Structure 1
Amino acid sequence: MGGDRWAAWNAAKRAWNATIHLVRCRIEKVFGTAKRSYGLARARCLGRPRVSLQVHLTFIACNLRRAATLARPQSA
């Protein structure tokens, strides 16, 4: 009785997750790296403008590191 109640919702949720899985996977890796390696797990200050500045500077640092990695010559 209770299993049929959510069957349609669960099927719709699975279908939705299957469509966004590839995009979400790539984005969540970036946020996980920012939290783990760049200190975004906690805000260093209070207030929206300052926290926004911290987030922007953090992702600038992430992008600079990524650019340096991509610019490095590939070894064969």
Structure 2
Amino acid sequence: MTLFGLEMGGQEIASLCGLLAVLALWIAALRREKRSIKWFRDWEAARKARRDAELAGEDNDRPKTGPWG
């Protein structure tokens, strides 16, 4: 087989296929990493919103005493 004017044997073709497979694995790993980061950020925002709502609900039930009301 000739590629870009160079004769490629079985070993070169196998190496090229291996490099392409490794590239595909890296792309898949990067996608999973980005997806997990997005999931964690969404989870953290939802947790913070639940916590803020919980704290806001507790503040209304507390008796207003002291110099700051």
Q: Does TM, scored on the shorter chain, surpass 0.5?
A: no
Structure with the larger strand share: 2
What TM-score does the superposition give when structure 1 sets the normalisation length? 0.38
Select the structure with the greater relative contact order (CA < 8 A; seq sep ≥ 6): 1
Greater C-alpha radius of gyration: 2
What TM-score does the superposition give when structure 2 sets the normalisation length? 0.42
